[in-house]
Structure 1
Amino acid sequence: MTDRIGTETLSDWVEVTQVMIDQFAAATGDHQFIHVDPTRAAQTPFGGTIAHGFLTLSLMPLLASKVPDAPVVEGTRMGINYGGNSVRFLSPVRSGSRVRGRFKLLSFAEKRPGQWQETVAFTVEIEGAEKPALVAEWISQIFV
């Protein structure tokens, strides 16, 4: 993995549906109308419903699973989220949009025997949009 520092991978495109948005609202209790009421949301500058920012961030594992030929740490027993150095929500993701993940490995280091920490620059791109939905620097730990 240390040889891959600085390399980027791209996921396949994934559609963000209204069903996903509604299910996220139900799970989090965030029922703001810009997410769940297409009629009212159409009257806003967004022109329709948009995904929650935290829904967009939470797509990271799904998008990572859709990277063709993604590098794998052999012998992984589990991986956990450790935290983020930064997260910025730059553009709304409209219901029905397709997004993909861009992952750039920034660092990969052994913290203690059998425990590795990786930092990844994570970008969520919106199909056809110039500006990404989200940029983040995310830290995970991998146990082997």
Structure 2
Amino acid sequence: MTKGKFPNGLRRAMDAKGVGLTELAKLVDTAKQNIERWANGERALKPDMAARIAPFLGVTAGQLLLLPNEDGAAPSTQPRISKDEVMKEAAAQNLRAALIAYGVDKGQLATLMPVIETFVTKAKPAQSEQTGSRDLPQPATPRRA
């Protein structure tokens, strides 16, 4: 955990994933100095940026922001964001990363991202992703003679 004025889980997540400041800055399209300030706790890591960074580090925005988990971990002084907001932002950033991976240049990306963000923002939250046993295909029951 970062011990600066604005503690967060960014440094720990970067170390765990083996991602450096410069690499992460390029992935999320921000200045290396911003990543460094957030990682050192010199500046507050905002929820929207945490949602952009999280998919690249294999963590959730809540983990980066040190939000309490479902097990009741200690509450954080950081503002809470809804799961839907985090999921929508992560979806937009995953699409962005995929576009970059497929060779879309910055000009095309600048044109596409507002469209993607508008679409994702207007998307309705999905119903629970948990599937009940009645939703699963049932094996055929053998017939008795």
Structure with more contact order per residue of length (Cα contacts < 8 Å, sep ≥ 6): 1
Q: Whose strand proportion is higher, 1 or 2?
A: 1
Q: TM-score, length-normalised on structure 2?
A: 0.27
Task: Please give the TM-score of this superposition, normalised by the length of structure 1.
Answer: 0.27
Q: Which of 1 and 2 has greater Rg?
A: 2
- Higher helix fraction (1 or 2): 2
